[in-house]
Amino acid sequence: MATDPRLNHVNFCHNYLVFLLVAGLYHGCTHIHTFIFTSVHLQFLYGIFSFQCLLLRSLLLSINKECINK
């Protein structure tokens, strides 16, 4: 039984965005723009717009908004 290659990309996107979210929280506001750019680039590169990936990206954007308001 073959697996859908899109599923592998979604899993990769999900795992990588979780990593970016944790790294963004660890490094704080100074690097959050880089993490957001990387997450957006990753999604467009693979054409992945799954619910999990969009939710994680919105969390990164929310953190960025909080950083700007500080």
Lookup result for tokens 């990387």? 38
Cα–Cα nearest to 36, from 25, 47, 50: 25
The model's pLDDT over 19-42, given as tens digits with 9 standing for 90+, comes to 777 776 776 666 666 767 776 776
The model's pLDDT over 41-62, given as tens digits with 9 standing for 90+, comes to 766 666 656 666 677 777 777 7
The encoded tokens of residue 4 equal: 């859908």
Residue 24 half-sphere exposure toward CB, CA atoms < 13 A? 26
